[in-house]
Structure 1
């Protein structure tokens, strides 16, 4: 995602980091103007302090449930793990606000925790952009599990490969925790369509 922030933010005058916290990603933005938005004033102050001498960095204290920007005014929005902090019923309306802010041709880089992606969000992204590239990321156990089994799911190959019942129980428990669900999903959404 960091490489994508660098590449795509360079194409826009203004790029917005929604739920920016203390400007954790600010150094990766190459746009003329960086705008960090968060509801936590203390974290915003901390971030702004790190860039206090640079007028191209702006902090906005705001609730993302309410409109913040004019329609079609932002070229790029980055939002990492924001939706997991929202009530499930608030996620699609907040996404609609993000889409309103973006200019036609705009870019949205959206990172969602495992509990946040929904079919409605995925569908809305597909409707709104020319290109949506989704990448699923897995926790360390899942990566190790896949390496051990050459990318296969041994539970699908049959339990006869595991004669020790304790191993079967442990694998089943760990599988239920992390397999095949990603830890988080990253969606790179390019070239927003005009409405």
Structure 2
């Protein structure tokens, strides 16, 4: 089977759980910016064509799909801040962003499909962890698209305020140019101080 499908959702719907939220996060690897999660409950009768892992889609395709997702699904995007990432660690912060996204949906889901191998511990709704879920479940794919578009927009905005780090193109990931900018320009308030490359520069300062 090429690409994600609706089989996880169909199985749960058949067991009497019609509202299934796909949940994914983006931004665990970057050295700067928030971690962003999205939760999406698709309408089974109006699933956009061509949903896939957001990393496999062009920006233009993501934006076109997001428009369709927003028009037909219940969507919430939420974040955990750089301060929260540094305080509780990136895994807990990404789970916190997921919990916030689920809580922000217009309707409470009966079950959540969470991308990855762990279920956020603060979640009170039944959930299934789906490894490589963004390439297997259309609901998780839709969430990965919503989260990526939202986070990319934040990083583009921050790139205007803090030029030189290339956040509009590297989204805060540790590209060579980002690392060299960190060394020459220093650490901004949007850098994650608990991440090793940033921490090392602060230790030298």
Q: Same fold (TM over 0.5)?
A: no
Greater Rg by CA:
1
Q: Which has the higher contact order (CA 8 A, sep 6+)?
A: 2
Structure (1/2) with the larger helix percentage? 2
